[in-house]
Structures are given as C-alpha cells and as structure tokens.
Chain A
Amino acid sequence: MKIKEMKIKEREVSLLITSVVVGLLIAVQSRAFTDVSTVFGRDTRADAFRELQILKKSNEKLEDEISDLQSQLSKANDQEQSLKGIRDEIQKYQILTGRTDVSGPGLRVTLNGNVQDIWLTDMTNELLSAGAEAISINNIRLIDVTNGFDTIPNGEIVLNGSILKAPYVFEAIGDKTTLKAAIEQPQGILQRMSQNLTGVDVKVEEKDLVSMEKVL
C-alpha cells in the first residue's frame, strides 16, 4: 500500500514538472509566431520626448548649415575670396562623395556570426541617425553608388559586387561617444539584434582614427 502511494506521488511530481515545461513551451512557441515578421522589432518604440530631442537637434544643424552658407555667399561675392570659396566647396563635396581618402575619429563595430542583410541596413541607419559622417563595411565605404545590400540564393550578402563575409566590420567617422551611446542605448540596435538573433558576437570600439579609402 505504501509503495503504491509513493509511486502515485512520484508519478504526480513528474506529471507536474512535465506540465510546467509544456506550459513554458506553449508560451515560447506563441511568442515565436509573433516574431515571424521581424520588421516590427526593428524600430524603437520611442516617445514624444525623443521626437522633440531629434527635431531640436536637427533644427540646430540646419541653422549651422545656414550660417555656413551665409559665409560661403559672402566669400562668393568677394573677388579675392571667391576662388578659395569654390575650392573649399569642391573639397567638401569630394569628401562627401568618396572621391578622396578620408579619416577622423569614430567607432568600430564588429558583428561576427550569422547576420542577415536587414541588420546591416539597420546598423548603418542607426549610425547615420547618430550623426556618422561616413561609414564603411569591411573596408567598402558606403556612398550612393556602392550602397545597397543584396542577398544571393546561397544566403551570402553582396555589397557593390563584393561578397561580404563575417565578421562584418562597420567603421563610422563621427563623435565616437555619441555613436557608441546611440547603438548601446536601451532598445537600441544592439539590444534589438540580440532579441532577434542568436550566436552573434558583438564588439564595439571607440577609435581615435578611422580611415577610409576613396571609392571613385
């Protein structure tokens, strides 16, 4: 009789444990279903406060640009300075369009593992949004004509005709502290990636000097 009772108890305990596990599995499964569409996990759910911050900062930048342009205009009107003004402008656009080697302080982000192209798009976007002035991935500087990730049927990512292989090394020129803070913020790109991807090693390094070769 006692043995029988013990057996029943044992069975009940194992049943309980199994059921708890089943419950956990159901929950995990239903969660996996909602995650099928990754597009919804890719943008921050920020609030109006953040929106105000972004707008304030972007208006400040526009005001800076206006004062730059005003000084450019006065140079253009001044016979002695107009040539220098034109040369400065040419140099600025050469820097922006990848026609000259460039360097500056910045950030290096290394992603090692199986990463889909959407995350490369999003990482690029996040760095730009945080004020990156130039970005390269595995030494390919992103400008208008090199941009655009493509995934070929075997799953490899192609950029500007070259196959990109892990580790994916992003280098960005800009304010390194701001760039680092932006990607590491709560609900930022790194956190969203870790929620959606497994087995990806991430390394973030602030750099005093990041260099990029000219593209054109």
Chain B
Amino acid sequence: MKLSESSFRTQVVFVATGVFIGLLISTQVRSSVPSGSYPSDELAIQKDLIKSFLDDQSLLKSKIVALRDEISKTQDSSKNLGDEKLIESLNDLKKDVGLETAKGDGVEVSLNDGVLVKRDEADTIDQSLIHAADLRDLVNVLRSARAEAIAINDQRILSTTSITSVGNTILVNNFHLLPPFNVVAIGDPELISQRLTDPTALPDLLKRFKSNSIQFSFSVKNNLVAPIYNGDFSVKYIKATNSPA
C-alpha cells in the first residue's frame, strides 16, 4: 500500500516535469534573437528626421500636382496646332491613370482602431488596431466589386499603389496615414455594399468588428470625390514592345 502511494507520487512528479520540459523545449525553439532597443534620445532624433522627411514629402507632392496642372493648361492653350484629337486622347488617358479627380456615387467606408487602444503604445499585433493588411483586403474587395476609383484618406489608390506598414505606421503610396481611415469607393453602390456585407469577403475584419475590437461602418453616398493622384509614376524599366495604335 505504502509502496504504491509513493510510486503514484513519483508518477505525478514525472508527468509534471515532463510537461514542463516539453513547454521549455518549445519556448526555446520559438524564441528568436532579441531585438535591439534604442536609447530614447536616438528615438527622438529618428522621430524628428521622419517628420522632416514627411514635411518634404507634402511639399514635393503639392509641387507635382501644381506642375501637372500647369502642363495641362499649357497643352490646352496650344490646341490650335491641329492636335485637338491628341489632347483629347491624352485627357482620356489621364482620367484612367488617376490624374483627374474622380466624382460619382459609391460607398464610403470608415475604419478605425478600437476605442480604448493607443496606437503609439500598442503592440504591433494588437487586435484592436487597423493593420495595413486590413486596408489591402478592403481595397481588394472594392476592386473585385468593380470600384472605378478608390481613395484612402485622400490618397488615390492606383493599381501600382502599395499599402504597407512600418511598425504601427501605415504607408499608402509611401505616405503616412493615421486612423480613422475614410475610404471612398466610386462605383456601383449596390454591388459594393453587397460585397462588403458578404461574411466571406473580409472575414478577419468582420470578426474583430463583431467582437468590438475595431470600428467599421459603411454607407452609400452620392457625389463622392476621389482626389487626383499626387505621386510619381515609375517607368524606368518598362518599355512598350509595339508602337501603340
């Protein structure tokens, strides 16, 4: 009797130790190289640098918009050369490439972080934050619903737009965007609304919305505006292989 009691105790100890070792092994396997921490003054310098880059960026972008406008006006005023048709097709192309303000009916989507979360202090994987991947998924759904023009916080989304993040900062067209995210989609309101309410279209976003982690809403609106694209077009490597018709 005494022997079996002690062997039972040994067994319990063994099981506990075994489970503990198992957990330890897995933690060990999972742990990666610790990331370095910056001294706070270095962080301050970095923040200042980022701010100055962003100020430059705003200035450069407004210069680009002004220059494009000036070029258009100059071209329009020199129409008398018999190149009216050429100007016309140029203007049509500009519309398609995002160099004209898009106006029309559609859907306005609002996305925001959870009410209580602080983006500056939150962990990058916080469920209550809107992530770059959420915006990518949303844009993908809007595109598949045939939206004709899309803008997020006034940044026009083109087929070459990247939506990425660096830590908790979201970059759209390499431009810093902060929540709340106001997404304008010009197109068939019914089709777009249908896709947005489809539970399979944005599963991750809807799950977090239902658990009150994030804020998400949309409404059909008339006369929406998607501003003109104010970034660069890169055509350094791409070439036309046949002469255009």
Contacts and interface: CB of A to CB of B under 8 A. Distances in A.
A179 B50 CA distance: 25
Contacts of B74: 73, 76-77, 82
A100 B245 CA distance: 8
A23 B165 contact: no
Contacts of B197: none
A39 B134 contact: yes
A125 B53 contact: no
A133 B245 CA distance: 22
Contacts of B166: 44, 46-48, 50-51, 54
A129 B57 contact: no
B177 interface: no
Contacts of B16: 19
Contact of A70 (B19, B67, B160, B207): B67
B60 A62 contact: yes
How big is the B interface, by class?
A: 35 or more
A211 B240 CA distance: 10
A45 B167 contact: yes
B97 A47 contact: no
Interface size class of A (residues with CB under 8 A): 35 or more
Contacts of A59: 53, 56-57, 60
Contact of A102 (B68, B134, B240): B240
Contacts of A45: 124, 167
Nearest to A77: B74
Interface in B29-69: 30, 35, 38, 43, 46-47, 49-50, 53-54, 56-57, 60-61, 63-64, 67-68
Nearest to A142: B159
A63 B136 CA distance: 27
Could you say which of A22, A89, A125 has the most chain B C-beta atoms within 10 Å of its C-beta? A125
A38 interface: yes
A42 B234 contact: no
Given A66-B64, A66-B67, A147-B159, A102 B241 contact: yes
Interface string A71-95: 0110011010011011101111111
Given A20-B25, A48-B46, 17 more contacts: A19-B17, A22-B19, A23-B19, A24-B22, A27-B27, A31-B30, A40-B131, A46-B166, A52-B53, A55-B53, A62-B231, A69-B68, A72-B71, A76-B75, A103-B239, A103-B241, A150-B144
Interface of B: 7, 10-11, 14-27, 30, 35, 38, 43, 46-47, 49-50, 53-54, 56-57, 60-61, 63-64, 67-68, 70-71, 74-75, 78, 81, 83, 86-87, 89-90, 93-94, 96-97, 124-125, 127, 131-134, 136-137, 140-146, 148, 158-167, 169, 171, 174, 200, 204-205, 207-208, 231-242, 244
Interface of A: 8, 11-12, 15-28, 31, 37-40, 42-52, 54-56, 58-59, 61-66, 69-70, 72-73, 76-77, 79, 82-83, 85-87, 89-97, 99-106, 117-118, 121-122, 125-126, 128-129, 131-134, 142-145, 147-151, 153, 158, 173-175, 211
Shortest 4 CB-CB distances between A and B: which pairs? A23-B22, A19-B18, A148-B143, A148-B144
25 contacts: A12-B10, A15-B11, A23-B18, A25-B22, A26-B23, A37-B127, A39-B134, A42-B132, A48-B43, A48-B166, A61-B232, A62-B64, A65-B231, A69-B71, A82-B75, A85-B75, A90-B244, A93-B94, A96-B97, A100-B240, A101-B240, A134-B160, A142-B159, A145-B146, A148-B145
